[in-house]
Amino acid sequence: MKKEVKKVVLAYSGGLDTSIILKWLQDEYRCEVVTFTADIGQGEEVEPARTKALELGIKPENIFIDDLREEFVRDYVYPMFRANAIYEGEYLLGTSIARPLIAKRQVEIAKITGADGVSHGATGKGNDQVRFEMGYLGQDATLTIIAPWREWDLNSRESLLKYAEEHGITIEKKGKKSPYSMDANLLHISYEGGILEDPSAEPEESMWLWSVAPEKAPDEAEYITLTYKNGDPTALNGTTLSPATMLAELNRLGGKHGIGRVDIVENRFVGMKSRGCYETPGGTIMLKAHRAIESLCLDREEAHLKDELMPRYAKLVYNGFWFAPEREMLQAAIDKTQENVEGEVRLKLYKGNVTVVGRRSDTSLFNPEYCTFEEDEVYNQKDAAGFIKLNALRFIIEGKARHNNT
C-alpha cells in the first residue's frame, strides 16, 4: 500500500528514466514534484533539464539546478583522497562519492520547499539505491522514500519508451544511443552493461570518452608539479587552482596521456558481482602524488596504520556509509595525519603511466644524515645488533623450548 505523499523532491537529470519517473510520480502518487538537477561536472548541459521539467508541468519555483562542482571536490573528493581510498585494489570510487552530496542537497531542498518525500532513479539491483537512501535517512528519517524501480513493472527500455509515448513525454534523439550505462562527474566516468556483461569481452576502443589509448598518447613525456597543503593539492605547476578547477585540469592532462583506465569485476554491496570500466585520469594522478608527498611527511607507524584503515574507509564509501559516525571518526583520524603533509611532487605523464620523479617538503622526515651510504656522525651501526636480538628474542626462547622437548 502506497504511503500518501504531498510533495516529493526528485533527483532529476532530464533523461528518459527520470522524465518517466517524474510523470509516474504525478500519476501514481498524485503528488507535487520538485526537480533537483546537480551539476557535479558530468560534462553535459544541465539547463535543458529546466525546459524538460517545465514541459512536464513542474512549477518554475519547484525546479532546482545547482552547481555543486566546488563543494563536490572540496568536501567529498579531497577528504576521500586524503585517505588514499581505493576499493578492491582498483576502483577510485567516482560514483560512490557523488551520491552522498546529491542526497544531502535533496534533503535540504525538501526542507526549503516543505516536501515530505524524496525519490531517485536507481534500480533495485545496484549500489546507488543504498547510497541515496542511506544519505536520506542519515539527514532526515521522516521523509518518505520512493524508489520507482522497486515498485513499477517498467523493467525494460522498450517498456519505458512505450510509457513515454503513451504519456506524451518527449524523448531526445541525439544520434546513436550508447550501448552502455554511463555515469559521469568531475572524478570519473563509468561504463556498465552491453558487451561488458561478458567479463571476457574486451571493451571497444570507441567506448572510452575521456582518454586516448595509451599507445596513441603523445610520444613525449609531460612533466607536472603538484603543490600540497594539509594533504590537498593546491597548485599545479605553481598556479593556485580551486578544487574543481584542479581536478578538471588533471583530467585533461591525464586523458591526453591515456592515464586512468581500469576494467574490473567488483563485488556490489547488494551481493552480486558486476563488471565495470572506469576512466579516472585526474584521480589516478592525485593518488600517486598524494602517496608520494605522504612518504616524506608521515611517520612510519602513522603511515602503516593509515594504510590498514584505508580498506575499511573505502568500503564505507562504496557501501553508502558516508554519513556514518564510523566514517566520520576515521576521517578525523586521517585529517589529523595530514596536518604536516605539504610540499611539492614532480610527476612524469607518459603513455598511460604516472611516475613520481621527485618530491620535496619543508616538513619532510627524510634525513640524509641518517640514511646516507657515506660516512656519518649520527648513527652507530653497532646499535643494530641489540635491536635485532631484542626483536628476535621470542624466536630464541621458542627455539630453546622446542629443543628441550625433543
In 182-279, which ranges are continuous DSSP H helix?
Answer: 243-256
**For 77-86, 170-179, 355-364, which range has the lowest pLDDT when averaged over its residues?**
170-179
The answer on 149 and 18 residing in a single domain is: yes
Average pLDDT over residues 237-245: 98
The confidence score (pLDDT) of residue 172 equals: 66
Active site residue 181: yes
50, 99, 131, 261: the catalytic one is 99
Would you mind telling me the total number of residues written for the chain in this entry? 406
Q: Do 363 and 297 form a contact (C-beta atoms < 8 A)?
A: yes
Within a domain: 46: yes
- Confidence check: pLDDT of 174 > 60: no
Domain annotation covers residue 327:
no
Domain contains 84: no
Q: Which of 40, 96, 79 is nearest to 321 (CA)?
A: 96
**Phi–psi pair at 359, nearest 5 degrees:** -155, 145
User: Could you give the CA distance from residue 218 to residue 291 in angstroms, rounded to a whole number?
Assistant: 26
C-alpha cell at 220: 613525449
* Active-site hit among 116, 128, 359, 361: 128
Q: What is the pLDDT of residues 298-315, one digit of tens each?
A: 999 999 999 999 999 999
Q: Is the pLDDT of residue 175 over 70?
A: no
Is 406 strand, coil or helix? coil
Q: Is the pLDDT of residue 245 over 70?
A: yes
| Domain span including residue 193 | 181-298+341-360
- Quote the CA–CA distance of 386 and 389 in Å, as a whole number: 5
User: CB of 34 within 8 A of CB of 61?
Assistant: no
What's the mean pLDDT in 190-195? Answer: 94
Distance CA 329, CA 349 (A): 35
Query: In which band, very low, low, confident or very high, does the pLDDT at 44 lie, cut at 50, 70 and 90?
Result: confident
C-alpha cell read off for 149: 524501480
225: phi then psi, degrees, rounded to nearest 5:
-125, 125
Of 75 and 17, the structure prediction assigns the larger pLDDT to 75
Distance CA 32, CA 59 (A): 9
Q: Is residue 350 part of a domain?
A: yes
In a domain, residue 81? The reply is no
pLDDT at 180 > cutoff 90? no
163: helix, strand or coil: helix
Which tens digits make up the pLDDT trace of 60-73? 999 999 999 999 99
Show the cell assigned to 396: 630464541
* Distance in angstroms (rounded) separating the CA atoms of residues 118 and 102: 11
* Whether 283 and 160 share a structural domain: no
Instruction: Please say if 198 is a catalytic residue.
Output: no
Round to whole Å and give the CA distance between 289 and 273: 31
Residue 316 in domain:
no
pLDDT at position 291 is 98
Both 53 and 126 in one domain: the answer is yes
Residue 19's Cα: distance from chain center in Å?
26
Please report, in angstroms and rounded to a whole number, the separation of the first and last CA atoms in the chain. Answer: 74
Q: Structurally, how many domains does the chain consist of?
A: 3
Strands 63-67 and 239-240, by their bridges, are unpaired
Q: Are 129 and 123 in contact (CB under 8 A)?
A: yes
Q: Is the pLDDT of residue 173 over 70?
A: no
Q: Is residue 89 part of a domain?
A: no
* Residue 115 pLDDT greater than 60, yes or no: yes
Same domain, 150 and 272: no
**Is 257 in the same domain as 352?**
yes
- pLDDT for 176 equals 57
Q: pLDDT tier at 367 (50, 70, 90 boundaries)? A: confident
**Which residues pair with residue 189 across a beta bridge?**
184, 279
Cα distance between residue 112 and residue 57, in whole Å:
20
Assigned domain for 320 exists = no
| pLDDT, average across residues 115-131 | 95
Query: Residue 325: what pLDDT?
Result: 97
Provide the CATH number for the domain around residue 257.
3.90.1260.10
Whether residues 193 and 145 fall in one domain: no
Grid coordinates given for 391? 626483536
| Residue 87 DSSP label | B
Contact criterion met (CB below 8 Å) for 68 and 105 = yes
> Strands, DSSP E only, in 218-322?
222-229, 232-236, 239-240, 261-267, 273-279
Strand-strand pairing, 189-192 and 273-279? antiparallel
pLDDT tops 90 at residue 347: yes
Q: Angle CA(272)–CA(122)–CA(164) in degrees, nearest 5?
A: 125
One domain, residues 251 and 212: yes
Among the listed residues 66, 181, 291, 307, the single catalytic one is: 181
Annotated active-site residue 99? The verdict is yes
Q: Is 17 a catalytic residue?
A: yes
Question: What does the pLDDT read at residue 169?
Answer: 86
pLDDT for position 111: 98
